[in-house]
Amino acid sequence: MLLKELRTQVLEANLELVKRGLVLYTFGNASGIDRDKGLVVIKPSGVDYDELIPEFMVVTDLHGKIIDGKLKPSSDLDTHTLLYREFPSIGAVVHTHSEFATSFAQAGLAIPPLGTTHADYFYGPVPCTPPLTDEAIGGRYVHETGLAIVNYFQQNKIDPLAIPACLVNGHAPFCWGKDAHHAAHNAVVLEAVAKMAYNTLTLRSECAGVSQSLLDRHYFRKHGAKATYGQ
């Protein structure tokens, strides 16, 4: 079986989204990439999570051409492949419609860094893209979704590893990481910090957010050459 290990990792990431309550029915998808081979493994479209096995994962190239697999790939494939092409440092992508992160996306709002939980994973606000134009929606919609993410990160000089997530305006979050496990982990944490942010803003709407010093302290204790967190 082509890319058996990666297929298994991508399957496990998809199942993690279900386990953590981030997806309903067949919503959501996870993918991973083999950079050496230039091949992507992604969840098939519309297949119940209870039925998924590694053989059902679909293998494509970086432009969405199916290389191996009998099922249709996720309908979000073009977003995933665009992110892989434009963010060469990432190894996996996860898309959910998790409740609180999606609420921020539907409101067209970034998730502000209001505390240390956010700062541990996201070095600044989790951005929300501008709304897609009518032309983008009526054209290559899924491709344009990825383009909205990439354009925002490039125009605002955001490192995709420092902020491993983005909200698509009116839609939902996309997250990524160095591999499928970390991408799913980031999606779970994103939903947690989105819920905390919603609750915090409900309690105190004028909340200014975490200080730059505290953001630096918590982010860099887990990330970078001088990280101290963990064994």
The residues annotated as belonging to the active site are: 120, 229
| AA identity, residue 151 | N
Determine contact, residues 173/190, Cβ cutoff 8 Å: yes
Phi and psi (nearest 5°) for 33? -125, 140
Residues near 77 by Cβ (< 8 Å), separated by ≥ 6? 31, 40, 42, 60, 64, 142
Cα–Cα dist 149/184, whole Å: 18
What SS3 state is found at 68?
Answer: strand
User: Measuring CA to CA, how many Å separate 99 from each of 23, 106, 126, 202, 228?
Assistant: 9, 10, 16, 16, 32
For residue 95, the tally of other CB atoms under 10 A from its CB is 29
